[in-house]
Amino acid sequence: MAELSWLYWLTFDRLSGAETVTAPTLFVHGDGCVFPDNVHSLASRMPCAELVWGEGSQIDFYDQEPQVTMAVEAAVRHLGSYLSATFQV
């Protein structure tokens, strides 16, 4: 991440439109990840948000068991509940 982008990233208002997001949204996160309180806050304000909480650090969710399996299983459940009946894994 380029240093020049930090100002925009750190000052971005992620909550101003949260209540207007109607698209089903899945968050997979954990206490060891970046800004866990922010994710809780955002998800609680979104009407169609699902929050799946796991154990591990930020990097664990990229390529480690059991975090990746948990995230994939959550995504399959989430997508399966919103896509047509023809969706199969």
Domain residues of the chain, as ranges?
Answer: 20-82
Task: Centre a 10 Å sphere on the Cβ of residue 67 and count the other Cβ atoms it contains.
Answer: 22
Q: pTM of whole model > 0.85?
A: no
46 CB neighbour count, 10 Å cutoff: 20
pLDDT confidence of residue 51: 97
Please, which residues have CB within 8 angstroms of residue 56's CB and are 6 or more apart in sequence? 30, 32, 33, 64, 67
The neighbouring-strand residues paired with 29 are: 53
pLDDT for 26: 97
Would you state the pLDDT for residue 82?
A: 87
Over residues 42-89, the pLDDT tens digits come to 999 999 999 999 999 999 999 999 999 999 999 999 999 888 766 565
